[in-house]
Each structure stands twice: as C-alpha cells, then as structure tokens.
Structure 1
Amino acid sequence: MTATATPPQTRSAEPPAEPPRQRRRLTAYWLLLPGALWLVVFFVIPFYSLVATSLYDPDGSVLHGYDMTWAFSNFWHALHDYWGPLLRSLWYGAVATAICLVLGYVLAYAIAFKAGRWKNLMLVLVIAPFFTSFLVRTLSWKLLLRDDGFIVNSLQFLHLIGPEGRLLATPVAVIAGLVYNFLPFMVLPLFASVDKIDHRLIEASGDLYASPVVGFFKVTWPLSLPGVVSGTLLTFIPAVGDYINAQLLGSPKQRMIGNVIQDLFTNANNYPAAGALSVILMALILVMVLLYVRRAGTEELL
C-alpha cells in the first residue's frame, strides 16, 4: 500500500497591509483638510481680493467698474493722504497696549498668586464683559464720560480739568475705550504664563538676599515673557485697526485708520485707496510684529 502525498495548500494572494505610519499620516491630512479649506475660503481668497482691489485703476468707479491696471501708485497716494490717521492709530494702539500691560500684569499676578480659592471667579469676572456686545460696552463708556456725568463733575470738583473741560471727543476717551475693551486680551495670556511660575523660585530669590523688586525683574518677569509677548500682540493688533472707539468716543480730530478705511469703502466708494490702506496697515503691523517677536527673544508663545 503506497502513501499518496497531499498537494501543498496554496495561500490566496493578499494585498500588503498599509504601514501604520502611512495611515497616521493620511489621517492627519484628512483632519487638517477642514481647517485648510476654511483658511482658503475665508482668508486666502479675501486677502487676494483685497490686494487686487488695491491695484485697481483709481479713475474707475462703482458704476462703471474698475480695471486691473496694477496701479502701485495707489499705495503712495494713500500714504501721502492719510499718514496722519495711520500714525495716530499706531500711537493710540501703543499707549493702550502699554496701559493694558501694566494693569493686566498686576491683575494677572494677583489672580495667580493671591486669589486662592477665588481664582476661577476672578477669571470669570475678567471675561464677563465679553458676554455683552462690543458696541454696547463702548456706548456705556460714552454715557460714563459724558459732559454732565459723574466722572467729569468729579474731575472738575478736584480741579483736574477746567470748568469747561470734557473727556468725550478727546484722545483720553478713545484710549480709555481701547484699554477697557481689549484688557481681557492682555490679562488671560499673562495669567496663563504667570500661573505656571513655580513660587519656590520667587522664594529662592529672597533667600539669596534679593529685594522684591530685584526678584521680580530677575525671576518673575523673565519667566512670564511668553505671556507678555502674546498679550501685547493680542492687544496691539486689534487696537490699531479699531474704529468703533474713535467713532463713538472721539471726534474727527481723533479719527483712526480704521475710520478712514470704513469711510473710503462705504461713503466715498474709493475702493482702490481703501484697499491700499488696508494692505499698508497689514504689512506695517506684520513687520512690527516680526521685529518685536525677534527682539523679545522668546520661543514659547502661549
């Protein structure tokens, strides 16, 4: 009796398994796709349209249309005609940012190190103004700073302003509105940075016979620089482009570049000049931000 050999079983051909690393990479791309589409639709395309508008023929009109003539002279004419509001916006934004930094740092430090169990409540109070409209908050300041209001009457009683003095329609009112509206943008990054500081480092500076002032500038301030940089950027950039505070709290003498751009777009229908001013403002802020971040020397931005 002879044994018959059974033929070897053949395995069906299976496609090679996709490497796990490649699958993770594709998954990451798919997750990035919605954000990328959002940026393209709501940033890249509008930005391209704005740059194209700034290069339109300045002799065009809304009725007859604008031709693309690559009129780079629009930028020079915009700077020549509106350099005053542009510099005023940068100055108001810088002053408001500096005031927000001083006030915000004190508040953030107090919440981080002194608030204790009231820390969360104080943070809620910081962001509470955002529960109401930006316009409503600015109108409230207009009521507070009115000529017959409590603040003006008190300042007149203390002889800090004259009998005919006022706060509305002055740079003080515009800067005060900017500080109030953008202060939370400064406090929150500062708190996030200060709250991470190990308090034992501050105590160690005292053990090394450093005064509280020296300990602050040698320990606390350098460790909180990421929050300082983030807060100043988040405050300065929107403050420079703001136009609501200058519109409601100021006068034509306090017009900011945002007011000029709005007027050129809506009233004068001078789209090339408005587009050129917008591009100039964005480019100027971008250069200033890059120089500031490079000078600050911090790599960790919150």
Structure 2
Amino acid sequence: MKLGFFLSSEEHGPRDLIRNAHMADEHGFEALWISDHYHPWNDEQGQSPFVWGTIGALSERVSLPITTAVTCPTVRIHPAVIAQAAATAAVQCEGRFVLGVGSGEALNEHVLGTHWPSADVRLEMLEEAIGLIRTLHEGVEVTHHGKHYTVENARIYTLPERPVPIYVSAFGPKAVRLAARSGDGYICVGPAKDLVRQYRSAGGRGPAQSGLKVCYAESEEDAVATAHRLWPNDGLPGELAQVLPTPRHFEQASSLVTPDMIRESIPCGPDPEPYAEKIKEFAEAGFDEVYVQQIGPSQREFFEFWAKEVVPLIDV
C-alpha cells in the first residue's frame, strides 16, 4: 500500500505547504494529497490558498505525485476552467498529477451567490463536468450545450502527453456508483471498507485512496487539545459538511464535538502503535493508497517521529 502525505490548505499558507511537501519527500512519503478550498472549515485553521498556484510551486520543489483531494468542478469554477488548470498542472508535474473531484460543499461553492443544489443534482452536475473535462483533454475544439454547462469553441492547447486521470470522491451509494462508472479511481476518507466493496462491485477498477488525520505531540493530552481546537469538524455526522455555508456555522456545530470524541477517532500523541494500527485498518479495508495529515504546527517533529517510530511498525 502506498503511503502519502496530505497537505492541508486549511491550516497552512502556500509557502508552508511547500516546506511540508519537501519534508514529506525527505521522510519517505510516496505521494501527496492537497485540499482545494475557498474557506477553511473554521477560523482557527486560518488559511485557504488558491490550490492551483500552490501546485505550480510544488512541481518545482518535489517530484512526488499530486492529487487534489478534492476539487469541485461544478459551481464555483466552471469545468472548462478546471480542465485547463488540471492539464497545466499535469504538464508542470510531468504527468504525476491526478485530478480528484467531488460534488463539493456549500462552504466553498456558494460564495458567488449561486444556489446550492440538492445532492442528486450535484451528482448530475459532477458527471456532466467529468465528461466535459475528458473531452477537452482530448485537445479538440469543443462546443457543448448540456443540461448544466455550456461551452463554445473551447480548446485546450497545453496538454500532458497522456490524459489527466480523474478520481472521484464518494461517500454514499449513488456517488460510489458514479465513481465506478466515471472515474479512473476512488477517493474517500476513513477506513470505509463497505464503500470500497461497493466501488469494486459496481465495476470500479482504479486505485482506492483515503485520508487519515493524526496529531503527534509530546503528550497525548496536548495532541488531543490541538486536534480538538483545529479539527472538531471532523466529528460532525451525516451531511452537515456538505450543507453548512460558513466557517462560523461549522464552529457552532462543532461545539457538540468533545475532546473524547476526537481522542477516539484520531491517533494522538507520542505512542506509535495507534498510528500503525490505523494504517493496518486501511489496508484491511482494501485501500491502495492512504494519505496522512499531521494536525497542528509540529510538522517537522511529526515527520521525524513518523520515519523513526511509526514506519518500522507498518507491515502492509
């Protein structure tokens, strides 16, 4: 199983993201995820740089493969523009780029005042957007008058040697079936064994990626406090993450998430065993790639801890 590092655009500015990616490369991580947001989930996280500028800088600093986790190509940015951005990123990364896409969250997508559609409509829009991106990546002139998108006389001239792979994020049965029929791979978060099984049974043959949040610190209590301060939203249930419109609303909802809830869901502290056990859980769930995100400012300390103490315990 491939182990990658998750660059959190919600917590770190562009220059820090580049430094973190370089440290990930130095400490044995094999690939990168990078989040694509307009807002952080809450004000405490405090950042949200434009991902396409960061990817350009990453391409000059590291040679690791990069996946957006994930881009919404449906509301805030038209899929024809995402198609151009992804093609340029793939050229900059010399083919080591994957466009991860999903149906998005109101938090990021409603900022232009556009109506936030229902889940079924968002999936319909996503599937049309994926088809349009693929057609534009063929390098032909495209005129498209679809249900949700219009393109006239559009052609992308700067293209990689091979079409950009598109992986689809999905957390429910309808979305998983869409990922299986429309994507080159599958993305989710957590060791969701049932979702991987659904993806495979629906015909999905591409790699299955997932993400894992951790928080290394010198004590478990310090790590839990840091994770709870920065990522209480990780404990929110159901569809709240898709429909809440502002960081303020996430802060209000996250007041229901306790430190003990974070302790149960996120490996925290200086003991390497819970980290290794969690990686094993992802492997047993059928994932091909797992991307680890260190919460908080202790990035260099995390990388040294991971390389020296966690990696020797991982056997997957």
TM-score, normalized by length of structure 2? 0.21
Q: Which structure is higher in RCO with an 8 Å CA cutoff and minimum separation 6?
A: 1
User: Highest Rg: 1 or 2?
Assistant: 1
TM-score, normalized by length of structure 1? 0.22
Which is helix-richer, 1 or 2? 1
Which is strand-richer, 1 or 2? 2
